[in-house]
Amino acid sequence: MMSDAGADVPSETVDALVIGAGPAGLMAAEQLGRAGVQVVIADAMPSPARKLLMAGKSGLNLTKNEDQQAFQKNFIPLPTALSAALDAFGSNELMHWAEGLGQPVFTGSTGRVFPKAMKASPLLRAWLGRLDGYGADLRRKWRLVDLENGALFETPDGLRRVHAKATVLALGGASWAKLGSDGRWASLLTSQTTAAFEPANAALSHTWSSHMNRHFGAAVKGVALRSGPYASRGEFIISQRGLEGGGIYAVSRGVREGHELVIDLLPDMSMDQVKSTLMRRKSKDSLANALRKMLRLTPEKIALVMEFARPLPADIAPILKGLKIPDVSLRPMDEAISTAGGVRFTSLSDTFEFTQIPTVFACGEMLDWEAPTGGYLLTACFATGRAAGLGAIAAVQASKDE
pLDDT of 1 higher than 80: no
What is residue 394's three-state secondary structure?
helix
Using CA atoms, how far residue 253 sits from 186, 308, 379, 401, in Å, is 22, 21, 20, 47
Residue 312's pLDDT is 92
Fold of 11-198+341-401: FAD/NAD(P)-binding domain (3.50.50)
Task: Provide the pLDDT confidence category of residue 296 given band limits of 50, 70 and 90.
Answer: very high
Cα 62 from Cα 58, distance rounded (Å): 11
pLDDT of 14 higher than 50: yes
The model's pLDDT over 38-47, given as tens digits with 9 standing for 90+, comes to 999 999 999 9
What residue segments make up the domains of the chain, in order of their start? 11-198+341-401, 204-330
pLDDT of 6 higher than 80: no
Q: What is the radius of gyration, based on Cα positions, of the chain? A: 24
Residue 303's pLDDT is 96
The model's pLDDT over 86-120, given as tens digits with 9 standing for 90+, comes to 999 999 999 999 999 999 999 999 999 999 999 99
Segment 28-36 mean pLDDT: 98
pLDDT of 169 higher than 70: yes
Comparing 208-217, 275-284, 305-314, 324-333, the range with the smallest average pLDDT is 275-284
Tally of residues, the chain? 402
Q: Work out the mean pLDDT of the chain and round it to a whole number.
A: 95
In 3D space, the residue among 3, 119, 129 whose CA is nearest the CA of residue 59 turns out to be: 119
Q: Structure pTM? A: 0.93
Cα 254 from Cα 281, distance rounded (Å): 36
CA count, 13 A, side-chain hemisphere, 235 = 10
**Percent over 70 (pLDDT), the chain:** 98
Cα 266 from Cα 186, distance rounded (Å): 44
In 3D space, the residue among 168, 183, 147 whose CA is nearest the CA of residue 23 turns out to be: 168
Task: Provide the pLDDT confidence category of residue 3 given band limits of 50, 70 and 90.
Answer: very low
pLDDT of 7 higher than 90: no
Most confident range (mean pLDDT) of 49-58, 242-251, 284-293 is: 242-251
The model's pLDDT over 195-241, given as tens digits with 9 standing for 90+, comes to 999 999 999 999 999 999 999 999 999 999 999 999 999 999 999 99
Phi, psi dihedral angles at 213 (to 5 degrees): -55, -40
Using CA atoms, how far residue 373 sits from 63, 106, 213, 248, 370, in Å, is 9, 18, 28, 11, 10
The model's pLDDT over 343-364, given as tens digits with 9 standing for 90+, comes to 999 999 999 999 999 999 999 9
**Percent over 90 (pLDDT), the chain:** 92
The model's pLDDT over 322-343, given as tens digits with 9 standing for 90+, comes to 999 999 999 999 999 999 999 9
The model's pLDDT over 379-400, given as tens digits with 9 standing for 90+, comes to 999 999 999 999 999 999 999 8
Residue 391's pLDDT is 98
